[in-house]
Structure 1
Amino acid sequence: METTKSTAVANSNIAVIKYWGKRDERLNLPANNSISFTMDDQLQTMTTVEFDGHLKQDVLVLNDRPATSKETGRVTAFLDIVRKMTKIKTKAKVVSKNSFPKSAGLASSASGFAALAGAASRAAGLNLSLRELSVLARYGSGSASRSIFGGAVEWLAGKKKDGSDSYSVQLSPQEDWANLRNVIGVVSESEKKVSSVEGMWRLKTSALFQSRLKTMDARLKTVRAAIKRNTFEDAVIPIMQDSDNMHAVMLDCWPPVRYLTDTSFEIMEKVLELNESHGKPVAAYTFDAGPNAHVYTTEKYAHEVERMLKYTDGVLRTLNCKIGKGIRFVNEDLF
């Protein structure tokens, strides 16, 4: 099979109904469905892959520096899946750049492995469908499955043991959400002390986790319906409830998984006060595995939310993100 150099671009996604916990760790299968919005190009990864017969091992350059052995090992494990699919044994050079800090709760693994799935599969001579790319990306990072698509996206947990029914689908396109914003309050740009993988591994010690799964369907149904009707305000409360619930489960683990900071909690209170001041739900906070606040709101209230975040002690900077595109392939290579 002919191999070439290929470059793919993917954006991170920020879930409004969270994925936290797996039904199969080896296949990276989630315990529940999740729903997200894909972000604009401010949260983007570009990745170039070339399989090169002269290489004795895979080479990874990440954000202009040689990757650590741990980072390279994770990428090699992913490339091995592509090599198995294509029956090639050639090692690859991978160069990847993020437009934002990695491992700080801005979903860098989602955009990173989505871009890697696209670039590596094309470089290996495959021409996968979006669904097939979603399945492939899932092996690298669960949330990467959702970054294959733009707009509003749902990742299906599936029920089959082989994971063939666990992939993402687009609920509505980017164009339907021209009015929606994710105003991000960056509280930390440091790599988190407890990785998402480690955090999920600790779930086996949580008594609250099964309770979370039992209440998940109701939130999924409400948010899915709000997306179908394009009525963001109907999704505000369940979005915040799901974030709170996930972090409560994290704290229920042993050792506890603490991602939120005092600044994170202050932002939560300010969002609730903002909604109360308007007499209706206009903004929803949500936190991934990190202290950074993602405040979903509409264009009408985005500047008000941004001012609120800027005047919160502990917020380093803000980003005002629109809803973005899914994966795309470009002719501009990184090497």
Structure 2
Amino acid sequence: MTEKKVRAHTNIALIKYWGKRDEKLILPASSSLSLTLDAFYTDTSVAFDSSIQQDTFYLNGVLQNDVATKKVSHFLDLFRKPAGIHSPALIKSTNFVPTAAGLASSASGMAALAGAANEACNLQLTKRELSLFARKGSGSATRSIYGGFVEWQMGTSSTDSYAVPIDDADWDIGMLVVVVNSRQKEISSREGMKNTVKTSPFYSGWLESTAKDLIEIKDAIYSHDFQKMGEITESNGMKMHGTMLGANPPLSYWEPDSVVAMQLVRQLRQEGLPCYFTMDAGPNVKVLCRLTDSDKIKKRFETHFDSDQLIIAKPGEGLKVLSE
């Protein structure tokens, strides 16, 4: 039994993925763009072992129930089949990020599992192929294969919907993550997404404008135009939450402290400190900033939040094999 262990970092979408055009294949309704972060990651190991009866999955040291294990087993089958492996697997995963709290734990989790399964099966998949596989576990995981700025191209089918690296983010870029609430959210992204697509009258406008946002933010990234990138990021995130508020029943992941964080970002901008907020399906606020300003911004946030709620993140790297 040889254990293969891989690390994947989370990514935070600047141009959001919200809604699928194919639920089963996890094909997005639009392309998206993210920044991979160094501060949050998942380490996952996979070892095939014919001496155990069935797949066994530990998350953060806790043996998982049949429902969670079944999801992992189905995903592993994507790798076992082409490798001709029939043995059960022992899977151990540790999240260095709160699970299901809107901090992209599913992105790093499924990307790390894809990487570890590839190593354990010795499939030698390319990063593009791994991105395709990771997408079948979690949409946003397709982007966590790479570091820096990454685009998930919506594609036309299951064979060309994958992520591509855009820029290594090796310039003055950082993010302050404001952990408003690290508890598991009551409504999953999957359920929230499905209901928004089905019932929100704003959804078609969101799709139209997000395609334009993607083109413009890539121009801003290529030219290192931080202000333009930040403005598009903030606008795109708020439009996504607007589609949720228009759903039936209306959906909001915000909490009072989410609004406090957003107001503080606006105040800092008025004072001449450039920073921009974004939020995913959860109450936590991510503040896009220049890395050189991150300590100053964190100090201001400490007047409203405990320091352990505030995490400075740098751009993170792509998949990394930890053990051979």
Same fold per superposition (TM over 0.5) = yes
Which of 43, 46, 49 is 2:46 aligned to?
49
Distance (Å, rounded) in 2 between the aligned partners of 1:305 and 1:24: 40
1:43 match: secondary structure: strand
**How far apart, CA to CA, are the structure 2 residues paired with 1:25 and 1:86?**
26
Q: Look up the SS of the partner of 2:91 in the other structure.
A: strand
Match of 1:327 in 2: 319
Q: Which runs of 4+ in 1 moved over 6 A?
A: none
* Aligned-residue offset at 1:197: 1.0
Report Cα offsets for 1:266-324 as digits up to 9, x if no partner: 2112211211221xx71110001111110010023212221232222588610000001
Q: Is the 8 A contact 1:187 1:314 kept in 2?
A: no
1:239 alignment counterpart: 233
Return the alpha-carbon distance in structure 1 between the equivalents of residues 110 and 306 of structure 2.
30
> In 2, are the aligned partners of 1:185 and 1:316 still within 8 Å (CA)?
no
Indicate the SS of the match to 1:131: helix
What residue identity is the alignment partner of 1:140? G
CA distance, structure 1, for counterparts of residue 98 and residue 175 of structure 2: 17
For residue 195 of structure 2, the aligned residue among 175, 195, 202 is: 202
1:116 to 113, 120, 131: 113
Q: For residues 158 and 22 of structure 1, what CA distance do their matches in structure 2 show?
A: 12
Describe the SS at the equivalent of 1:123.
Answer: helix
Partner of 1:251: 245
Q: 301-310 or 45-54, which moves further after superposition?
A: 301-310
Q: Are the equivalent residues in 2 in contact too, given 1:14–1:38 (CA < 8 A)?
A: yes
Percent identity of equivalent pairs: 39
What is the distance in 1 between the residues matched to 2:247 and 2:269? Answer: 31
Residue 19 (structure 1) aligned with residue 11 (structure 2): no
- Aligned counterpart, 1:31: 29
In structure 2, the residue corresponding to 1:12 is in which secondary structure?
strand
Tell whether the 8 Å contact from 1:18 to 1:243 is kept in structure 2 after alignment: yes
Q: Which runs of 5+ in 1 are unaligned?
A: none
Pairwise mapping of residues 38-117 of structure 1 onto structure 2 (< 5 A)? 38-40=36-38, 42-117=39-114
- Structure 1 residues 273-284: aligned runs within 5 Å: 273-278=267-272, 282-284=274-276
Q: Are 2:168 and 1:173 equivalent residues in the alignment?
A: yes
Quote the Cα distance in structure 2 between the aligned partners of 1:263 and 1:149. Answer: 32
User: Matches of 1:139 and 1:257 in 2, distance apart?
Assistant: 26
1:99 positional shift: 1.3
Task: Tell me if structure 1 keeps the 8 A contact 2:253–2:282.
Answer: yes
Give 1:96 deviation, angstroms: 0.5
Instruction: Kindly indicate whether the alpha-carbon contact (under 8 Å) linking 2:18 and 2:240 is maintained by their aligned counterparts in 1.
Output: yes
The match for 1:183 is 176
1:289 maps to what in 2?
281
Paired residue type of 1:21: G
Aligned length: 323
Partners of 1:275 and 1:312 lie apart in 2 by 17
Are the equivalent residues in 1 in contact too, given 2:291–2:314 (CA < 8 A)?
no
